[in-house]
Structure 1
Amino acid sequence: MTPVSDPEYPPLSTLKTGLHCRCPRCGEGPLLKGFLTIREACPACGLDYGFAEPADGPAFFGMSLVGVIGMALFMWFEFAVHPPVWVHMVVTMPLLVLGCLAVLRPLKGWLVSEQYVHKAAPPEWASVGKHGDGSKWR
């Protein structure tokens, strides 16, 4: 699929702009304000971020990614070292939480960049009239 392109803005890599949390159109302006809040518009090119709504996608992908890798490392650590349970509470649990938090911003930026490239928009519903109108069955 060809990325959305404005004549003055060449198509950019969604992975590069997303992981750096930059504007998907110009690649210059910051996408987020604070930790996870999406800005109203790009301060560099003025792109309105109204289309951007990744919802729970970053959290889902982050927990899945960190969970699979974290569990593999957890199992290796458990079988190789045989530590007591308190070691897992002090070491493993904080590492999993920090890993999930570390990937949230880049994943959110990447999902917003993908939404821009694929022209994401809120769903539009078309009504055919009242209940039963427009149906062959009477």
Structure 2
Amino acid sequence: MFQGYLTVRERCEVCGVDLRGHDAGDGPAVFLIFILGFLVVPMALWVEMRYMPPLWLHALLWGPVIVGVTLVLLRPLKGLMVALQYRHRSTSQQD
């Protein structure tokens, strides 16, 4: 489905379905912001209240966590958005 990391192919290599009209836009990034905010903020607050580390340690700890989870989840969420667009026929398709 993907050509590169996040670029959607024009056609599916397996079934030949036209994917040019599908555009996930910023949807996956917005969902990821909500997911990470819901998970990371309480964890960071818990670490702060429990251990009281300096701010630089928070940045060192949570920066890589946020970047790592983003890189792992962004592609599957974009694939999900394209699949939902295809399933619900939200784009004009040429048969």
TM-score (structure 1 length as normaliser): 0.63
Verify the 8 A CA contact 2:9 2:20 in the aligned structure 1: no
Q: Quote the residue 1:56 is aligned against.
A: 26
Name the aligned partner's letter for residue 89 of structure 2: K
Q: Which runs of 4+ in 1 moved over 3 A?
A: none
Q: Quote the residue 1:113 is aligned against.
A: 83
User: Considering only aligned residues, what root-mean-square deviation do their CA atoms show, in Å?
Assistant: 1.1
Verify the 8 A CA contact 1:59 1:104 in the aligned structure 2: yes
| Paired residue secondary structure (2:20) | helix
Q: How does 1:70-109 map to 2 (within 5 A)?
A: 70-109=40-79
| 5+ long unaligned stretches in structure 2 | none
Q: Quote the residue 2:36 is aligned against.
A: 66
Matched residues, percent identical? 37
User: CA shift at 1:67, angstroms?
Assistant: 1.5
Q: Which has the larger share of helix?
A: 2
User: CA shift at 1:44, angstroms?
Assistant: 1.0
TM-score (structure 2 length as normaliser): 0.90
- 2:12 pairs, out of 10, 28, 42, with 42
User: CA shift at 1:51, angstroms?
Assistant: 2.5
